[in-house]
Amino acid sequence: MTVLQGKVAIVTGAASGIGRATALLFARQGAKVVVADMNESAGLEVVRLIEQEGAQAFFQMLDVRSEENCAALVDSTLQRYGQLDIALNNAGVFAAPTLTEDQGLALWQRMLDVNLTGVFNCMVHELRAMKARGGSIINTASVAGISGTYGAAAYCASKHGVIGLTRSAALEYGKYGVRINALCPGLIETPMTAGPDSGFNEKMINAGVKSSALRRQGTPEEMAEMALWLASDRSCYATGGQFVVDGGVSA
């Protein structure tokens, strides 16, 4: 049974990692998917894979720092498919660990602009589109949104902010049938943690694995499964929550 049959979903940061895995899974579960990202070639490849399996998708160039881009994303979705039921606001950035005093205003601002303001920019327009018929919004936060992380003050602040935004909006929009939850991944094997510009090194990854009860990194596909549950009617009483999927690190 395809649990998202007849639904339309936006996935930001959909060209790689958790976003890519979720876009593919949503499509396999019956949703029409809008693949939104700054990486056009990788995003178009996700669309190709979705269409190859007989589902519907289109690519939308998106810089979440731009409120105009986010408005255009929702407008394009409504013009193409006539509705919006699900949004995974997943686009985000990380940086190499640095002491707070050395992070600098530019890094601080980049973390907030992409990880927090980017989610807000998307949500404003998603909420307006969903008020009439309800829907599910999932904001990608992090275990760094529920605890501190050495050398990542700006990143932690941005992800704590995502959780605060999620909680407040959930209180406001429940009466419209819009559910809003935060997905809090732990150490997941994505380009953000394993790529050449990730900011992670082998020592950091090994430390993260050691602190996990399961003694391994998570996969994007495992995060996508939680996103699918939150997107579907199976989680119809869940809103304002922080769903931690971290292999037991926070335990």
**pLDDT at position 211:** 82
Closest of 157, 167, 72, 144 to residue 113, by C-alpha: 157
Question: Whole-angstrom Cα distance, residue 165 to residue 37?
Answer: 22
pTM of the model: 0.94
**pLDDT at position 155:** 96
Superfamily of domain 8-245: NAD(P)-binding Rossmann-like Domain (3.40.50.720)
Question: Whole-angstrom Cα distance, residue 32 to residue 125?
Answer: 18
pLDDT along the chain (251 residues), means of 10: 95 98 98 98 98 98 98 98 98 93 97 98 98 98 95 97 98 98 93 65 77 89 98 98 94 89
**pLDDT at position 199:** 62
155 part of the active site: yes
**pLDDT at position 209:** 82
CA atoms within 13 Å, Cβ hemisphere of 183? 29
The number of angstroms, rounded, from the C-alpha of 183 to the middle of its chain's C-alpha atoms is 7
Amino acid sitting at position 165: L
> Which of the residues 81, 150, 155, 237 is marked catalytic?
155
**pLDDT at position 230:** 98
For the chain, domain boundaries: 8-245
Residue 173 to residues 75, 134, 137, Cα–Cα distance (Å): 20, 9, 11
Closest of 150, 158, 145, 141 to residue 96, by C-alpha: 150
Would you say how long the chain is, in residues? 251
Cβ neighbours of 209 (radius 10 Å): 15
DSSP-derived letter for residue 117 is I
CA atoms within 13 Å, Cβ hemisphere of 46? 32
